[in-house]
Chain A
Amino acid sequence: MAKTDYKSILSCLWYYIRPYRAKTFISIISAFISSLLTLFFPLLTGSAVDAIISGEGRLFMRILMMMAISVLLSSFFQYLMNLANNSLSFSVVRDIRRDAFAHLEKLPLSYIDSHSHGDAVSRITSDAEQVSDGLLMGFTQLFTGVITIAGTLVFMFAVNWVVALVVVFVTPLSIFSASFIAKRTFSLFYKQSEARGKQTSFINEMISGASTVSAYGKEEENQKRFDKINHEWAGLSLLSVFYSSLTNPVTRFVNSIVYTGVALSGGLAALSGLMTIGGLTTILSYASQYTKPFNEITGVMTEFQNAAASASRIFAFMDAEEEKDESSLPALSLEKGGVCFDDVSFSYVPERPLIKHLSLAIEPGMKVAIVGPTGAGKTTIINLLMRFYDPVSGRILIDGQDIASVKRSSVRSSFGMVLQETWLRTGTVRENITMGYPGADDEAVWKAVKLCHLDSFIASLPQGLDEMISDDNDGISQGQKQLLSIARVMLSDPGMLILDEATSSIDTRTEMHIQDAFMHLMEGRTSFIVAHRLQTIKNADLILVIDHGDVIEKGTHKSLMSQDSFYRNLYMSQFAKR
């Protein structure tokens, strides 16, 4: 979506407002009634004063009763309108957030890996908030404003249609000046919103990496960088706040000029006897009453620019291409777990091909070890298997089914995956372990915990399994995080396994202790293991040695060791310096 394409932003917004048509209707009707009553009230006051002067006691009391009733009704409908507007704007923003989040869940990994996380966070939180504020303000003031203007017009035409026509004729002047300002503020608001996103990214990155920041004593330099970003933002914020706040004084000024014009011409007309003084007074009072709602509406117009600018950033995020819709595809039916790479090529960036024409057939139940220097493309193979990324060409088949022609989620859930880069969610230890099997009872959880030798760690936590942990939290070692991830997979009982440096941070003794559990887990399951610790690899049925994205050697530990292989060199290097 083009960022300044105002119409499409509005139509996107309308899409979200539409389900709440009933509330919109209530809001408009309430605004209508309460505005009319509000306009009606001064008339009653006038008649009441007249009744006082003429001494008509009963009429006076009747008018007073009507005033009371109109006040009650008007207040009631005002309240009703406020409630409808609240509910409307909060619901709309909730829905926008939900859709944005649902969209996030469908974005391909390639998008998530290459875009700033902080910026996406800013769109779903701050920008959505701006939309909510703008809508609320807009609904509350726009309807009442419009209705007040319409009502005043009617009254004016009733009193003096000539003056009414004059006023109608000069109205566009204030609208024009307001929209002149509004157009300019939109791009400022957009830039402000962008600057806010940039700032959020920086904040997110630095607070997430706070320990590294302090390890390198970068606080001051970061402060400078932050201040620079902050200053840029503040400049834009000042401009957009200032320009948008100009609408009110400027329209007010335009209106006061119009008012003066009416007064001058009316005065001169009265002087030449074309108009009475009383007539001029009436005209002037209506002219001033008429201009007031304009001041408010034009104010709303600029406020609304802010909301529109933020909305366009959210909608632009939602426009990013999703993973292909696959609701019509069948689920993968996992039988034995035979995996086949058929002429697979892949690259993250087109100009640097990483995997070139890889073909491989892996028998069901095989333990496949993938070894090779860092950066050789081992993790890429995992990315392809899990369909985090799709091959540029070629196919990957599981039990004869092309994984691109079945549901992504069914491919993913057929694997249990433990990565070197562990991730814990904010929640209890229990929630973290049962992520893959939410219904697990305590017995099952403890069994997995014991298999992973986590029991003493969990016992050392004040709340045990119910202790809150999170990825940002320190005090839990990388090794413990990996053990938790392993327990997670053990509990989920997957059909196949992917272990990408799954035990790299776990000490060898613990690793040995959980080895049995691991072996048991891998029994009969096709498993892909990336590891430098060659203990696990030695028992592999097939070892793939990868360098620069190519499989340069394959075989078993024995067969590879018996020749002068790359593998043998790699393997021997760990003992070279002893």
Chain B
Amino acid sequence: MSTATTTMTMRDRFISTASTLLDEDPRLAVVLADISASGFEDAAAAHPDRVVNVGIREQLLIGATGGLALTGLRPIAHTFGSFLVERPFEQVKLDLGHQGVGAVLVSALGSYDWPAGGRTHMSPGDVALLDTLPGWTVHVPGHVDEAELLLRDAAASDGLVYVRLSLQTNAAARPVTPGRFLTVCEGRGGPVVVAVGPVLDDVLAAVEGLDATVLYASTIRPFDTVALRAALADRASADVVLVEPYLAGTSTPFVAEALSDRPHRVFALGVSREELRHYGTMEQHIAAHGLDARSLRARIATWSGR
């Protein structure tokens, strides 16, 4: 398993990138609920009306974000995933999409980044929740450089975009295009594995010798149906493995829809629905969910019969 080897986390890069964008784009605003507010102190001093910290008020975080968007600004709201998507979910549903406005939501901590903090600071269901709403783009960068690229793309667009930042990271950035899967390696007989964001390095280690094709998704919504179908085009059978750093099976319906015209099998790996009720480290939690390279290899090899 690879962990952060650089000193700068994706969250640090979000702060520096958003601060730069505030200088460049008068349409941009950042809305905070205390989390990361100290990182934005300089930006707030430079742009006091466009860096808003509402305090520990997450319903207001999203409501105010919707109001800013109604006036024509491009707001970026940020806090931990638990408090950005799960706690104010009705605000996400009604104050953004239902009002017909766009916004960028940038989360930190993901599913298991601070396990010592326990269940209250884990949001494995964030992407699944957003899947109940229309129109959301979901970026899951696997490296700080990808995070910056995807943040810049999100800020420059008009729609509803969720950027899911994590402390888990791949060793190197990939040449990703926002909205597209990237073919990282091509096999012939093995399964097609869709690796989402920071699980890529572990997936690549796990499938070595399995003759698998690995598609790397730093954007998981919209789901790149074209890339998946193309990867399976010359195969007699359609075996798809999903490896997602959030609730297992979140993307299974999208695979089923993409392959509705041909028989297929899906093996969906990700964070388990059951609470672990353990503290410890991120590495321990990744292993507990069976997402470390060794576990992934055993599970994928067994499932694919290779």
> A and B bound?
no
Q: Interface of B with A (CB < 8 Å)? A: none
Q: Interface of A with B (CB < 8 Å)? A: none
